[in-house]
Structure 1
């Protein structure tokens, strides 16, 4: 089994050889015959997708399609090789091979073989729970490679830390999409909570892909909750934060679920007893870490109404 790390254009691929690719995160990755390791990548291999700073997700390659295409290449006007990089601070381009500096590269449309690697069936979003700097020591090749081999044992250790399993071979496809409902937009004026995305990423890095009350969950279902209402203090305190599955988050905010601050177990409102999945949560231990004083305040406020 081989593992690969793909640099996604959702970050900033260096564009040293071309004018970009048309990747779709969570679905497919596009590269061409100028990319190192293109011939070794095969269906069934593990693939990790990352940007410049974060690991975005993991899957297995479903299939690889190839076809002739043309690509706009940027070449050094002095040695005619690709590997041109723009030094923004100095306003010049530099060739990685001959070290020449110039105002602009030579652009030329050239024939290539284009590869489209699909990986959507087993896709698991990680949403930055692993930083690229943690993954980089496991990689072969050089930093400029858009595709790099990855050491599997080390990758499994990183995934275990955030409670994510290696995707199985031949993962079943997602259910069919729901029916389309007519939609649109309306104009609205509202307040935007600043820093919420970063707050969630830091909680994911601290706790992994784990709901504090129900256990490991897909990244898409996890929300960053404030134990104390954000409207009261408008601060993102990591100790006062907790990762919750989206439905649990709503019940937590509504005072229907709380945490006993003495036993550190889940308690539920009697109205939830009619729902087996929530009734069974009562008495379950929570993931340790959240601020006890904040949990006590929430517990007291919620349970006094039960």
Structure 2
């Protein structure tokens, strides 16, 4: 069959560029096609790139992402997909370590400053020792949300200046951007030799300063 006439049609195309930074995580299990179709912005069933509603995709993530495993710094590396895991292994004497840090530094978050003691959690600058005993000279107190950032290498301490550094994708976040470059707030010195371990692990994941 031949067609004598033809028509040229211009179709607008949106070009999207994705950046997979060092803090991205690959899914622990796939999201099925049927579930993904509930997030589509149209009813297309073609095998092509299909736009999705961001909010609907976010609702699908909890069933596809498992909580990160906690591990020591020495075994940490970024996966090809840029996924990360918690850095600080579970340690003995947690409540006693926290109480000792409160006596040492007071109710002060090393990143945000004075705050209610109830929201502070102990953070370890150094990797766990063989016996797991915490060292006060290697400890900081951090607000619960900032502690999560530190534990997942989304925030670290620069050894040369003892200033905070955020992962690239958080440096413009309205809640945390003010922390970038801020000197840590402590009332007693921290061990300088303990700082580089966490810093190297974080920067290694980010791939950039």
Q: TM-score, normalised by structure 2?
A: 0.51
Of residues 100, 107, 121 in structure 2, which corresponds to 1:209? 107
Which ranges of structure 2 fall in alignment gaps of 5 or more residues? 1-89
Matches of 1:248 and 1:263 in 2, distance apart?
19
1:296 CA drift (Å): 1.3
RMSD between superposed Cα atoms in Å: 1.8
1:232 CA drift (Å): 6.1
Which ranges of structure 1 fall in alignment gaps of 5 or more residues? 1-191
Other-structure match for 2:173:
275
1:208 CA drift (Å): 0.2
User: Number of paired residues?
Assistant: 115
SS state of the match for residue 296, structure 1?
helix
Other-structure match for 2:159:
261
> By percentage of residues, which structure has more strand?
1
Matches of 1:218 and 1:226 in 2, distance apart?
20
1:300 CA drift (Å): 1.1
Other-structure match for 1:291:
191
Matches of 2:197 and 2:119 in 1, distance apart?
26
Larger radius of gyration: 1
Matches of 1:244 and 1:285 in 2, distance apart?
14
Other-structure match for 1:166:
none
Other-structure match for 2:203:
303
> By percentage of residues, which structure has more helix?
2
Other-structure match for 1:249:
147
1:264 CA drift (Å): 1.3
Q: TM-score, normalised by structure 1?
A: 0.36
1:231 CA drift (Å): 7.8
1:229 CA drift (Å): 3.9
Q: Deviations over 1:156-177 (max 9, x none)?
A: xxxxxxxxxxxxxxxxxxxxxx
Matches of 2:185 and 2:131 in 1, distance apart?
24
1:193 CA drift (Å): 4.7
